[in-house]
Chains A and B, each alone.
Chain A
């Protein structure tokens, strides 16, 4: 069982790092072809999403509704193209298929915001911010009551944490001591109109979550080894044990890997031109680590 493993092998980390290069390139091509996306935040969550889908979640891409799977709720639903790209890479859809059915009125399956009705691998339809944590809380409560071993992960944005509903759910998860719930904040430091620090201070997140009864892990969320260490250290999602839910502060860079996007608030949403795509793909290739 993957769930109870604590070791992180350097070889596997290297494979996952290479996978991130591949996913970022596919994502950029996808966004170029559909003409819209939220590349800044979609690029910042790549390491976490890759580590979860390719290594740490119990998950069968051939059977995305398998009852025993771990659940991932992408609360920052505007970054769903990262998941669609991963689903494509896992063999669920070809890139052409996704492009042809992206927001195309009555034939649409894919959209800027994820919809579970059309894409079975999407656990929860999202888009409006501040919804994922309460829904993930309910999933985790249900899993515990039904004595299920699966875990619930939820990825929230750092701007998104300003929504008050998150804090209702954070309070409730601490109260219920939901050890089978893992919330990950993609802390890329930017929201639509500026730095989170100037729009609305969210720090100190570690002390806030600890005060609400959570265990906190802080990592470099764009470093695959750090991501793997954090996910490998998660205790079993044992429904019989009541312990603190886990909060991973994943410090990332918005637009990660693309020189003209990194840390640039302008790249929150929109499309990408051909010259920009070429430059971005070249930048991403440069992030590939040399293997000896």
Chain B
């Protein structure tokens, strides 16, 4: 797997939100048939906005009414086409929870809910933070949860989801996250995690933008402490790749999770549940947002404040192993 090695942030900045809009355009240009819904959250200047302008008949704006958008997306899917529904992440998970559960998952329709602004990337404080969504999604049956690590992976997921049967949430951040993968020629399979960086002392299980921060943290651990950290891109939170977790448990003994989510109920919770039932007895830690309404600030500052930046990840792992 070819991953980034330069860690030159500015050189490889990409934007999953822009990339997925471009992919919608590309798929429509290729003759693929699908609907796109939104709720007053697509800027005309964005790539999704340009898609809406080029293909207005297949796009529906429901105004500021996320439950109606999600419910109507189920109806559109029942009329016979795959639906991509872009919803502002915090309002998708909290406002439209009932519709995700009943109209999308229970009715088993081919809707891809694109939840944007994961974690604290929207800025603006707790009303706009998206920190409880994975906990909700994980408890809903028949719902696949995908969290792309970078823009290229997001594009793969969007394209491949056209051939996927059943409801799916694709969780992306605001945009402006670095690329994890140096090229996109690798094979992506939903439910099959990727070992992005090899290592023997500890496994860092991560998803979304946190994968990149974890890779940088792993480099710090190696350079300063001689700790060999493996980084796993758990891009599908459900179904979670248990085989990969068992492999990590047996080969690295210690495991941490890193996610742009509350430490309660998300990736870390899922990994912990699986490992405990599998008899795992190594050291374990969840790195993520603590159980509080997050402090206000630029997303990078907030993540640093909570020890989720590369330095923080490395420091917490070093303490876990040596403390």
User: Known: A125-B107, A127-B102, A134-B99. Contact between A169 and B72, CB under 8 A?
Assistant: yes
With beta carbons under 8 angstroms apart, the residue of A71, A125, A145 that contacts B106 is A125
State how many residues of chain B have any CB contact under 8 Å with chain A. Answer: 28
User: Known: A125-B102, A135-B74, A142-B75. Contact between A168 and B81, CB under 8 A?
Assistant: no
Expressed in whole angstroms, the minimum distance between the Cβ of B83 and any Cβ of chain A is 8
Expressed in whole angstroms, the minimum distance between the Cβ of B92 and any Cβ of chain A is 15
Give how many A-B residue pairs fall within 8 Å (CB-CB): 98
With beta carbons under 8 angstroms apart, the residue of B75, B103, B106, B107 that contacts A141 is B75
Q: Is the CB of A141 within 8 A of B76?
A: yes
Q: Is the CB of A139 within 8 A of B63?
A: no
Q: Is A264 an interface residue (CB 8 A)?
A: no
Q: Is the CB of A123 within 8 A of B72?
A: no
Residues of chain B within 8 A (CB-CB) of A142 are 35, 75-76, 78-81
Cα distance, A164 to B66, chains bound together (Å): 12
Residues of chain B within 8 A (CB-CB) of A139 are 75-76, 78-79
Cα distance, A207 to B35, chains bound together (Å): 33
The interface residues of chain B, by DSSP majority, are classed as helix
Cα distance, A89 to B20, chains bound together (Å): 49
Q: Is the CB of A138 within 8 A of B81?
A: no
Residues of chain A within 8 A (CB-CB) of B98 are 128, 131
Cα distance, A207 to B78, chains bound together (Å): 31
Expressed in whole angstroms, the minimum distance between the Cβ of A144 and any Cβ of chain B is 9
Q: Is B67 an interface residue (CB 8 A)?
A: yes
Q: Is B71 an interface residue (CB 8 A)?
A: yes
Interface string of A109-134 (1 = CB under 8 A from B): 00000001100000111111001011
Most buried by B among A71, A136, A139, A146: A139
Q: Is A21 an interface residue (CB 8 A)?
A: no
Expressed in whole angstroms, the minimum distance between the Cβ of B243 and any Cβ of chain A is 29
User: Known: A124-B107, A171-B63. Contact between A137 and B35, CB under 8 A?
Assistant: no
Expressed in whole angstroms, the minimum distance between the Cβ of B33 and any Cβ of chain A is 10
Expressed in whole angstroms, the minimum distance between the Cβ of A69 and any Cβ of chain B is 12
Q: Is A88 an interface residue (CB 8 A)?
A: no
Q: Which residues of B contact A (CB under 8 A)?
A: 35, 57-58, 60, 62-63, 65, 67-68, 70-81, 98-99, 102-103, 106-108
Q: Which residues of A contact B (CB under 8 A)?
A: 71, 116-117, 123-128, 131, 133-143, 145-146, 148, 164-165, 168-169, 171-172, 175
- Name the 8 nearest CB pairs between A and B, nearest first: A138-B75, A142-B79, A134-B71, A168-B68, A138-B72, A168-B65, A139-B75, A135-B75
